Structure 1
Amino acid sequence: MWKYASGFISTLSLLALPWRTTAYMRQETCTVTNTEYNCRRESLSEIPPNIPSDTTTLFLEWNQLDHVERLSNLPELQKLILSHNMINAVVEGAFDDLGELWDLRLDNNNISSLQMDVFCGLQNLTHIDLHSNSLWSLPKSIFSCSQGIQVTYAAEKFPDNLIYLDMHDNELTALSEGIFNHSYNLLYLNIGQNRLTSLPEGIFRGLGKLKHLILNDNELSSTSLSVTTFHGLGDLEQLNLARNKMTSLPGGIFRSLNNLQRLDLQGNGLTSLPDTIFPISGNLKHLDLSDNALSSLSNSIFLPENAFRSFDNLTFLNISRNKISSFPENVIAGLSELLDFDISDNLLTSLSENVLNDFTQFLARKGGATHGTTHQAYLRIEGNPWSCDCTLRELGLWLNENYNRLPPESRSTTCSSPAHFKDKPVLEITSNGLTCGSKPAPTSKADTDDDSDGDNGNTGLVIPGLIGAILAAAAAAFICVMFCVGMICCCRSQSKSTKQVNKKNKEKTKEKSTVVLMLPEGQKTSK
């Protein structure tokens, strides 16, 4: 009996061995390199104990942690990465002992709220990443540690150190007034992809060093912003307001942003732009106005005669997917540094010859070398309802002449009307087909210019005309030759007939003479 019991116990011991080994191996798979402790993708549900006290970087992302408990005995920790877990709670005082921490990443978790003193002990904290959580509100003093909290002087210095704050992709519906009042050194602030419907007056006041402000994909309306919303942001270089609900903007709202280089207003409901909307400094390089409801562009916004010369350095302009039906002349000429221009998918039916001339000069531009290559000017015009009548002649000629310098999308520009030309590429329509009712297509020097640019090998409006002329001349020559051949044949036939008649007459005369000579001699005498 004891023999069998001993065997059973031995078996249980063997069965237990792999579990002990597995637990041991899981702990050992966390690697230590110098002062870096790496526990990525270990399916951990708790933070491992006994982390070396000299650890400066702790990687715990892509695990199954559901809360953050107090981290102690890590006095030298500088970077704490807790991204991509299932964290829904941060216990009180979780980071109080991490006086050297400067980079804290809690993104891609399930955090819905934070205590107002959660960051107060972190006097060296410069980077906070909270994006892709479920935050619906934030305490007013979360970044200032100034209300109702007893902290040391060192902790009070915490807001002055913060330079990077990312809270995009949460559920924030509002921000408390003064929430950023003590974040004097903030350089990057991203609160895009939330549900903000308004911004408190002066919320960005004091952020004089801020360079990047991201507010895209919220629910900000025309009444959410005032002329002074962005006052004081003298160092701002990037402002993203894309995909909100603004149908209009107050004049001068961006006027004081003298260092602004990139402005994104795409995907709103903007129907017009005030003449005084843009910065006066001329530093703007990238302007995206696509996906709005703009029906026209004011000359005074873009022309170089504008006293403020706001667009001296503009290299990118996108006004695609609007409702623009006419394009002002001299706009492109005034934007001397422009290299990327998109007016596709608007309501343009034709372009004047002066505008096309501006486009030709634009396509000849080349920008500075990027990655060892020179940037060629880029223009998109497809997706407009081009009317393929006599007014389109210049555009067709222009497409042929600039074929090799256009992107593939613009090369395939198609007609919208009349019905028999619908969806047909403009380059496939001959000049003879472009009429306005009974009015033929207007003539131009290009009709008779045999030296037109045909290097691109396309069958456009110029080349088909030349081929047609050559074929017509060949046909005329062929008809002429055939007529001459016919005349020659006819003359030869007539000459032959005349010869045959003369021959018959001669034969009759000869017969008559022969008859006279054969009369009897007496008859001659009697005669």
Structure 2
Amino acid sequence: MGKLLLAARRTLPSIVVFLCWAITGVNSVCPVRCSCNTTIDAVIVDCTSQGLTNIPSPLPDNTTHLYLRDNEIDSFSGLQNYEQIIVLDLSWNKIRSIPQSRHRPELSMEILDLSYNNIRQIEAYCFTGLDNLLLLDLSGNVIDSIDGDTFIHLPSLTELRLHDNKLNIFTKSTNTLLMLETLDLSSNEIYSLHDSMLSDMDELITLSLQRNAIIFVDKNVFHSLQNLRRLDISYNPIKKLPDIIFDGMDSLEYLELSADSLDAIAEVAKTMGYTQNWFKAMINMQFVLSENSYFQDENGSFTDQKVGIRYMEKLNSISKTSSASNALLSQQQDNLFEPQRYNGIAETGP
């Protein structure tokens, strides 16, 4: 009898748990080859680097963070299957396309990382239902086209990463990306910055366009960016910049033009003067022209023989005016445009 009671005590908790699962339908079984962790406000499933070819199913109910980085997954079903997930990381897989849906229920997702896959096109209805998405990472793919209506379905997006793709033009519908603060289009094949490219993006703070093929810049392309603080257009074959290109950009603090072929800067600066257009709204700006041989002599010093004006005297004056802010920017400039993983958004995770 004693042994019977002991056995009953041992099996009772399992029976109770089984009955609860049966009655409520709750699934708390962790997928094979994954690790699971539950906190007060998150259910985290980590299947990183497990050689998976498919997304595990079923997942524990109420999964909020799903990490599938560095696997062999080449496709995934519609996003509607991840209604409760806040962070979905599918980076470094073999995904070729993103499923479309015109009528997807609203999802909770705030971060979607599809970087370093084999995605070629972004269609109009790939991201329906993602009204809460804050960060979308599509970098490191082979994307050569994005439907202009794609961003209609991302009203809350604050950070968009598209670096290291094959884009030769960036287009979007009007009244989209209204909340965007960071846009990274570096290392693509963009050849032109047209006037509507950045329209309605009043909240943009950081814009990275380095290492493209830009040869034409419309005079109005930056005019709506009243809050822009950091702009990198370095390593482009730009020949000329309009003399009013930076008009009204009172918030700009950092401008990177390194290694650009800006044959017209000297003439523009000489014609317009320091107090006009180019510098009139940039008293606190850190202006970077390193590696641009057009402005330097054989010792790397700026010369008024080539430029016609003393750049360094002006830059020294700017530096003295805002030494504190420039010192801070100088410390940060090495990683200014380096994408930081998830940037502190929905930080709960492994």
TM-score, normalised via structure 2 length: 0.73
**Are positions 1:273 and 2:241 aligned together?**
yes
User: Out of 274, 281, 297, which is 1:303 matched to?
Assistant: 274
1: CA distance, partners of 2:130 / 2:315: 51
Structure 1 counterpart of 2:135 = 164
Give 2:121's match in structure 1, choosing from 117, 137, 148. Answer: 137
Aligned to 2:291: 321
Q: Select which of 159, 164, 176 maps to 1:206.
A: 176
Q: Alpha-carbon deviations, 1:171-211, whole Å to 9, x = none? A: 111111201112111100111110012233x4464211110
Paired position in structure 2 for 1:215:
185
Distance of 2:166 and 2:188 partners within structure 1: 5
User: Which one-letter code corresponds to 2:219 in the other structure?
Assistant: G
2:108 corresponds to 1:124 = yes
Q: Is the 8 A contact 1:365 1:377 kept in 2?
A: no
1:70-85 superposed matches below 5 A: 70-72=57-59, 74-85=60-71
What amino acid does structure 2 have at the position aligned with 1:192? H
1:368 aligns with 2:324: yes
Structure 2 CA distance for aligned equivalents of residues 170 and 311 of structure 1? 36
- 1:291-331 CA deviation, whole Å, 9 max, x = no partner? 111123322677224499321331x211223353589xxxx
Distance 1:354 1:50 in 2: 61
CA distance in 2, matches of 1:128, 1:301: 46
Q: Which amino acid aligns with 1:58?
A: V
Q: What is the CA-CA distance between 1:281 and the residue it aligns to?
A: 3.6
CA 1:122–1:56 in structure 2 vs 1: closer, same or farther (change >3 Å)?
A: farther
Q: Tell me, in whole angstroms, the C-alpha distance in 1 between the residues paired with 2:57 and 2:190.
A: 38
List alignment gaps of at least 5 residues for structure 1.
1-36, 40-45, 145-157, 328-342, 379-527
Are residues 1:229 and 2:185 paired? no
SS in 1 for 2:66: strand
Q: Say if 1:302 and 1:174 are closer, same or farther in 2 by CA, change over 3 A.
A: farther
> CA-atom RMSD, angstroms?
3.7
Instruction: Report which stretch shifted further, 202-211 or 134-143.
Output: 202-211
Contact residue 215 and residue 241 of structure 1 kept, 8 A: yes
Q: After superposition, give the CA deviation of every residue in 1:260-295 in whole Å (9 maximum; x if it has no partner).
A: 111110111011110111250410011011111112
Do the aligned residues in 2 keep the contact of 1:75 with 1:99 (CA within 8 Å)? Answer: no
Q: CA deviation at 1:136?
A: 1.0
Structure number having the greater helix percentage: 1
1:242 Cα shift? Answer: 0.9
> Aligned to 1:292, which of 254, 257, 260?
260
Change (3 A) 1:247 1:139: closer
What is the rounded CA distance, in whole Å, between the counterparts of 2:37 and 2:319 in structure 1?
62
8 Å Cα contact 1:290-1:319 kept in structure 2: yes
Aligned equivalents of 1:138 and 1:268: distance in 2? 25
Change (3 A) 1:302 1:265: farther
Identity of aligned residues (%): 22
CA contact (8 A) 1:272 1:294 kept: yes
User: How has the CA–CA distance of structure 1 residues 204 and 165 changed in structure 2, closer, same or farther, with 3 Å as cutoff?
Assistant: farther
Q: Which residue of 2 aligns with 1:247?
A: 215
Choose which of 68, 74, 78 in structure 1 pairs with 2:55.
68
Number of residue-to-residue matches in the alignment: 297
- Contact 2:302/2:312 (8 A) holds in 1: no
Question: CA 1:119–1:135 in structure 2 vs 1: closer, same or farther (change >3 Å)?
Answer: farther
- Mark the runs of 5 or more structure 2 residues left unpaired by the alignment: 1-27, 332-350
The 5 A counterparts of 1:497-508 are none
Matched, 1:312 2:296: no
* Amino acid in the other structure paired with 2:280: R
After superposition, give the CA deviation of every residue in 1:393-422 in whole Å (9 maximum; x if it has no partner). xxxxxxxxxxxxxxxxxxxxxxxxxxxxxx
Contact kept? 1:180, 1:204, Cα under 8 Å: no
Cα distance in 2 for residues equivalent to 1:63 and 1:377: 41
Q: Structure 2: how far apart are the matches of 1:171 and 1:86?
A: 17
Contact 2:234 2:259 in 1 (8 A): yes
Q: Residue type matched to 2:287 in 1? A: L
Q: 1:142 to 1:355 in 2, by over 3 A?
A: closer
C-alpha distance in structure 2 between counterparts of 1:120 and 1:302, whole Å: 55
Instruction: Confirm or deny: 8 A CA contact 2:247 2:277 kept in the other structure.
Output: no
